[in-house]
Amino acid sequence: MGNRTHTEVSVARQSPQRPDADEPELDDTEAPAAADEVEADRPPVNRALWDEVRIDPVEIALPAGTGFTLRAYRPARELTPTDVVERDQDDPFLARRQVVETEDDEEVVILDEEFAALSAEEDDEDDEKAEKAAKGRRKGKADDDAAEDKAESEDDDEEAEEDDEDEDEDAAGDEEVPVFLTHKGRLLLFKTPESLVSFIRSGAPNDLSQLDSWNELSERLEPADIAPLDEDTYELDLVVENLRGGHDAWDHELLIEAGEIARDLAYALRLPAVLDMLSAGSSLDDLDEALRASVNGGIGGFLGRRRLKKIGAQTASLGWRTIVGKISAVVDWRD
């Protein structure tokens, strides 16, 4: 996940001209002192708790408002995905589609039974033919060593393929994936830090409670700790309008970070339609890659900017409007 780059810019103050003798000399040290005093009064954010529990506060702005939630990354094998059964039952369009699929499945089962019966008869006939052919081939052969060697080689190949599949599964299980403060397929967003802390302390069920560090967080968390870093603050409410403004108005950092949080949410909330829209090779993924290339210098940045000009602003804005709408539809707002 890309982090923003913070650059401190110091402006050298020019020496003022020497005032005339009869003009009062101005004290230009008061403004900086006041600024320093303001910075001193602002307590620094303590990140020690978040670093220990390996969970982060996140702020997400959507068309319906801005809210706070939590996010963590853990190996996939350690997590139980959020249960979306209840959420999908509440979706009339999805429920209707599931009924159609169920009816189709029943018809397919009937066809499968008929096909299986026919296939069994054909297999029996094929076995008889194969057996006769095998007997004919064995006549006149001196030995079966070559055939046995071939069979052993095939077995070795199958075992190797199975080992490769097991390794792939292990790698997938070790891959760190996002998990949010969710419950029954819905993202819990809180409008104030106080309401978020109150929920966590209440012991209410949620998908983050499966983490081994959850109890420690619930015992130590204070409202003042809910201070997301810049890289954990996302403005999805601005994405569509920014894309509509045309290529010259596109905010690269805004759009790149929107893609990051949308992918995380789509995975954690089990939104396959959003994952497909942002998958490799999709038009929105091409947009994301071009944006990332364009922020780099050199020839890569030049090529990235050229690619951006070929991407339709209307298509991109329509796609992102769909994504923001699907994410908003599974948000559970809490005061």
Task: Return d(Cα 223, Cα 193) in angstroms, integer.
Answer: 5
Per-residue pLDDT of the chain in tens (335 residues, 90 and over written 9):
444 443 333 333 333 343 444 444 544 444 444 444 544 454 567 799 999 999 999 999 999 999 999 999 999 999 999 999 999 887 655 544 444 444 444 433 333 344 344 445 544 554 565 565 555 555 555 455 555 666 666 666 666 666 555 565 566 678 999 999 999 999 999 999 999 999 999 999 999 999 999 999 999 999 999 999 999 999 999 999 999 999 999 999 999 999 999 999 999 999 999 999 999 999 999 999 999 999 887 788 888 888 998 999 999 999 999 999 999 999 999 98
Tell whether 71 and 203 lie within a shared domain: yes
Tell whether 205 and 108 lie within a shared domain: no
Tell whether 192 and 120 lie within a shared domain: no
Q: Which domain holds residue 309?
A: 58-75+177-334
Per-residue pLDDT at 161? 64
Task: Specify if 22 maps to a domain.
Answer: no
Per-residue pLDDT at 44? 61
Long-range Cβ contact pairs of 271-280 (< 8 A, separation 24 or more):
271/326, 271/327, 271/330, 273/326, 274/323, 274/326, 274/327, 277/319, 277/322, 277/323, 278/323
pTM above 0.85, yes or no: no
Per-residue pLDDT at 258? 98
- The sign one gets for the Cα dihedral 297, 239, 272, 196 is positive
Asked if 60 contacts 181 with a C-beta cutoff of 8 angstroms, the reply is no
Tell whether 121 and 226 lie within a shared domain: no
Of 105, 126, 161, which residue sits at a domain end?
161
Tell whether 157 and 222 lie within a shared domain: no
Number of structural domains (the chain) is 2
Task: Return d(Cα 174, Cα 276) in angstroms, integer.
Answer: 23
Tell whether 271 and 237 lie within a shared domain: yes
Task: Specify if 216 maps to a domain.
Answer: yes
CA 188 to mean position of chain CA atoms:
16
Tell whether 69 and 97 lie within a shared domain: no
Task: Specify if 270 maps to a domain.
Answer: yes
Question: What contacts 143, CB < 8 A, 6 or more positions away?
Answer: none
Of 104, 134, 161, which residue sits at a domain end?
161
Per-residue pLDDT at 99? 43
Tell whether 105 and 181 lie within a shared domain: no
Tell whether 201 and 277 lie within a shared domain: yes
Task: Specify if 127 maps to a domain.
Answer: yes
Tell whether 111 and 63 lie within a shared domain: no
Per-residue pLDDT at 298? 79
